[in-house]
Amino acid sequence: MSIPRSILDAYDPERFRADGHKLIDMLAGQLARWQRREGPVVPWRDPARARSHWAESTSSGDFVDDLARIAAASTAVANPRCMAHQVPPPLPAAALAELVSAILNNGMAVFEMGPAAVPIELAVIEWMCGTLGLPRGAGGVLTSGGSLGNLTALLAMRQAHAGFDVWKAGAHGGPPLAVIVSSEAHYSVSRTLAIMGWGEGGAIRAAVDARHRMTARAVEDALAQAQGSDRRVIGIIAAAGSTATGAYDPLGELADLAAARGLWLHVDAAHGGGAALSPTHRGKLAGIERADSIVWDAHKLLMMPALVTAVLFKREHHAYEAFAQQASYLFAETPPAEHWWDLGQRTLECTKRMMAIELWVALRSRGEAWFTDVIDRQHELATELAQKLADAPDFELALEPESNIVCYRHRPPGMTDQGALDRHNRALRERVVTDGRFYIVGTTLPTGYHLRSTLMNPLIEPDDLHDLIAHLRKLCP
């Protein structure tokens, strides 16, 4: 039986070579235009019209041309005037590594399917543990995003501290459980607890201070509140670079409290973990090495394409407790630690892409010093934007930034009503998005709605920050 010509043509190496050259040329040209600040950051189109456009779109006959159309119609994260979400312009070498990952398409559940990817991932995990100062015997796994990372860590916490075997007895095989979380914790935490069957009562909220940090005193107050309920608290969830403001909880004092109360300490360092690579900012993570589990996104400050998330455990054996079950067609019927090379025992994912090679390649080609330069630059840009806003009579800062996230709002002369201020700034952000020349987001803090800029792009210049403020003023009615 002969192979159809259509299949041979689709897999032809020379066609791939030609298409690849054309694709890279197109992307390099687009990258150069973005870096020159050409074109909109957000090519805004009404969602219903956009859906109809792409649904009705016909192929040009050249898939590279089609991909060029997609690039032109997408949010330009690589444009230095994109100052919105915690999403970086990926390191181009890491993007090329992801192309190799896609071509190889090795799964990650068992070593034999990923004979290069598995040991590379373990090496990357070891480097991340060492960078954070975790003790000997630490370990973990990479997974697809902070939400799945938090779920993995909290499942391990539950299995280790519930006091009963949840895998065998079920979620209701013991008393109702809870954790202490910041009032500004990422929504993935509440979602994780709901998935685990804990309900709304599974998260006991602790207030934040004026710097938007959850202190040990606030946790003590929350624990006292929990004593009057039927919930048994088994953990504390701290933030190192919170999503809303970039604030760092005082991890050392929270680690002291967790140790004294016999509680699991989980640190959501999805955003701020990268500060460990900066001698200037590393002190903000003091105490993280004492956490029982940590989530750290490489697709934030480390400039990797999404998604590359590390779930790290102070004691590596906890990595197996999140998913303590057997799959005889994949794993040997022996204790998981005896087959530590089969990573499917540590994560929800089975067919997982070779995400470690992106960070491994970046470390080998650029070195740790490059990451230090990037992280320091991001923080310096945030400090400069904050100073410009503080000096402006018609803007106000919500707080001095601890990371590369700046929260602020426009305050027209004479506007003092909180509701009017919120409506004004929400409308201003909507105009920014539909205008498209810049991109920022917003967040609701205890003091009201604020605009929010995350300085992820190290190619941002001071003129971009000046132009942002001027642009916001022009968009005001």
How many Cα atoms occupy the beta-carbon half-sphere of 362 within 13 Å? 27
Whole-number Å distance between alpha carbons of 431 and 421: 15
Whole-number Å distance between alpha carbons of 44 and 471: 17
Quickly count: other Cβ atoms within 10 Å of residue 142's Cβ. Answer: 30
Report the top-level CATH class of 106-366. Answer: alpha beta
Average pLDDT for residues 114-120, to the nearest whole number? 91
Beta bridge partners of 30: none
Whole-number Å distance between alpha carbons of 30 and 128: 33
User: If pLDDT is split at 50, 70 and 90, which confidence band does 339 have?
Assistant: low
Domain boundaries, the chain: 106-366, 369-475
Whole-number Å distance between alpha carbons of 463 and 65: 34
Would you say 241 and 272 are in contact if contact means Cβ atoms under 8 Å apart?
yes
The mean predicted confidence, pLDDT, of the chain is 92
Whole-number Å distance between alpha carbons of 274 and 296: 8
Would you say 331 and 342 are in contact if contact means Cβ atoms under 8 Å apart?
yes
Q: Residue 243: left (phi > 0), alpha (psi -120 to 50), or beta?
A: alpha
Whole-number Å distance between alpha carbons of 24 and 144: 26
More confident residue, 128 or 351: 128
Q: How confident is the model over 372-385, as pLDDT tens digits?
A: 999 999 999 999 99
Predicted local confidence at residue 330, as pLDDT: 40
Output the CA–CA distances (angstroms, integers) from residue 2 to 15, 77, 196, 392, in the order listed: 20, 46, 52, 73
Q: Give the burial string for 360-369 (b: 16+ CB within 10 Å, else e).
A: bbbbeebeee
Predicted local confidence at residue 192, as pLDDT: 87
Whole-number Å distance between alpha carbons of 460 and 77: 12
Is pLDDT at 170 greater than 90 in this prediction? no
Predicted local confidence at residue 60, as pLDDT: 67
Predicted local confidence at residue 42, as pLDDT: 97
Predicted local confidence at residue 188, as pLDDT: 80
User: If pLDDT is split at 50, 70 and 90, which confidence band does 327 have?
Assistant: very low
Is pLDDT at 326 greater than 50 in this prediction? no
Residue keyed to tokens 């979400």: 85
- What percent of the chain clears pLDDT 90, i.e. is strictly above it? 77
Whole-number Å distance between alpha carbons of 218 and 182: 9
- The residue count for the chain: 477
Q: How confident is the model over 387-442, as pLDDT tens digits?
A: 999 999 999 999 999 999 999 999 999 999 999 999 999 999 999 999 999 999 99
Least confident of 52-66, 131-145, 256-270, 277-291: 52-66
- The encoded tokens of residue 10 equal 């689709």
Least confident of 130-144, 164-178, 196-210: 164-178
Predicted local confidence at residue 328, as pLDDT: 38
Output the CA–CA distances (angstroms, integers) from residue 1 to 4, 13, in the order listed: 9, 22
Comparing C-alpha atoms, which of 175, 229, 223 is closest to residue 201? Answer: 229
More confident residue, 325 or 20: 20
Report the top-level CATH class of 369-475. Answer: alpha beta
Q: Beta-strand (E) ranges in 366-445?
A: 395-397, 405-410, 441-445
Least confident of 104-113, 297-306, 358-367, 409-418: 104-113
